[in-house]
């Protein structure tokens, strides 16, 4: 099945950077550069505090909005947390879940990520489920087992008809913010393994519709080759998403491949 049944998605994960005014400025630049094309999906994921300002800037453009996390419960006594409904109210379409930084620093488990993912889908948010191995896991040969656990754990209870609203991001932990990128072949191997897993869990047709993004030091220089791989359907960009021109160049690489 051709990869072009899937629309490329280039998502910027701004992490804990930029206040609301700075976020709005960056979003304005991004929207100016890539907000008019429709071949490739583009989304930016600012900090919670910037969502409203960025939402106003990207309204009416082809740049959509995502959050970086959410709580699994609908509402209640969870001081400091934010619900799916609150994110929808601010026009979020996506929510990043299970990022390795949340798994590492906030000890999020697959079960917690799964609970959030089911809530997100119920609340009409498209989850971007992050999975990826550490260097130690790769070197010890446990990589595919780790990925399997994270994919199966994260997707538990997701029905076949909801699967196409899920985006998976493969982010090898050793490649995040380090300047070390997985080679296109290394990334493709894992992406293909994830799609095979999805085929086993659902079926070939459902697996073929899921977008699997690569994340980890993706930049304009390496994006064309990564995005050309059969099972790489976009990118989750950290550092390079904070520079409008670099982010737009990555979107441009996807547009070229999709044209
Ligand atoms: P970098 O692009 O900075 O390596 O970050 C990747 C990432 O963690 C995106 O979620």
| Extents of the domains making up the chain | 3-258
**Ligand 1 atom at minimum distance from 216 CA:** 4
The ligand 1 atom nearest the CA atom of 96: 10
Q: How many whole angstroms from 101 Cα to the centroid of ligand 1? A: 10
Q: How many other CB atoms sit within 10 Å of the CB of residue 47?
A: 18
Residue 99 annotated among the catalytic residues of the structure? yes
Token readout for 252 is 């441009």
Pocket of ligand 1 (CB under 6 A): 13, 99, 171, 176-177, 215-218, 236-240
Q: Which position among 71, 99, 101, 108 bears the catalytic label?
A: 99
The whole-model pTM stands at 0.97
Residue given tokens 């995502």 in the structure block: 66
User: Would you give per-residue pLDDT tens digits along the chain (259 residues)?
Assistant: 678 799 999 999 999 999 999 999 999 999 999 999 999 999 999 999 999 999 999 999 999 999 999 999 999 999 999 999 999 999 999 999 999 999 999 999 999 999 999 999 999 999 999 999 999 999 999 999 999 999 999 999 999 999 999 999 999 999 888 888 889 999 999 999 999 999 999 999 999 999 999 999 999 999 999 999 999 999 999 999 999 999 999 999 999 999 9
Q: How far is the CA of 219 from the centre of ligand 1 (A)?
A: 10
Catalytic residue selected from 108, 133, 171, 191 = 171
Instruction: Spell out the long-range contacts of 35-39 with Cβ–Cβ below 8 A and sequence spacing 24 or more.
Output: 35/61, 35/62, 35/63, 36/61, 36/62, 37/62, 37/251, 37/255, 38/62, 39/7, 39/8, 39/254, 39/255, 39/258, 39/259
CATH 3.20.20.70 fits 3-258, yes or no: yes
Do residues 42 and 15 make contact, with C-beta atoms less than 8 angstroms apart? no
User: β-pairing, 41-45 with 167-170?
Assistant: unpaired
């Amino acid at each position: 099945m051709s990869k072009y049944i899937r629309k490329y998605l280039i998502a910027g994960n701004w992490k804990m950077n930029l206040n609301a005014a700075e976020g709005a400025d960056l979003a304005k630049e991004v929207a100016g550069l890539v907000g008019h094309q429709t071949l490739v999906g583009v989304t930016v994921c600012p900090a919670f505090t910037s969502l409203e300002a960025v939402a106003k800037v990207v309204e009416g453009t082809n740049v959509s909005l995502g959050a970086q996390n959410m709580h699994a419960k609908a509402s209640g006594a969870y001081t400091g947390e934010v619900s799916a409904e609150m994110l929808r109210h601010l026009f979020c379409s996506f929510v990043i879940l299970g990022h390795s930084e949340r798994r590492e620093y906030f000890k999020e488990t697959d079960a917690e990520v799964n609970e959030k993912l089911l809530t997100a889908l119920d609340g009409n948010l498209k989850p971007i489920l992050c999975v990826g191995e550490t260097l130690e896991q790769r070197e010890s040969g446990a990589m595919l087992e780790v990925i399997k656990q994270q994919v199966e754990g994260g997707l538990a209870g997701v029905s076949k008809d909801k699967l196409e609203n899920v985006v998976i991001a493969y982010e090898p932990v050793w490649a995040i913010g380090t300047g070390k990128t997985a080679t296109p072949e290394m990334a493709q191997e894992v992406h293909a393994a994830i799609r095979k897993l999805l085929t086993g869990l659902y079926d070939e047709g459902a697996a073929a519709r899921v977008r699997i993004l690569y994340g980890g030091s993706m930049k304009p220089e390496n994006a064309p080759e990564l995005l050309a791989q059969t099972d790489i359907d976009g990118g989750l960009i950290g550092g390079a998403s904070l520079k409008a021109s670099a982010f737009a160049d990555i979107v441009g690489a996807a547009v070229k491949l999709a044209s």
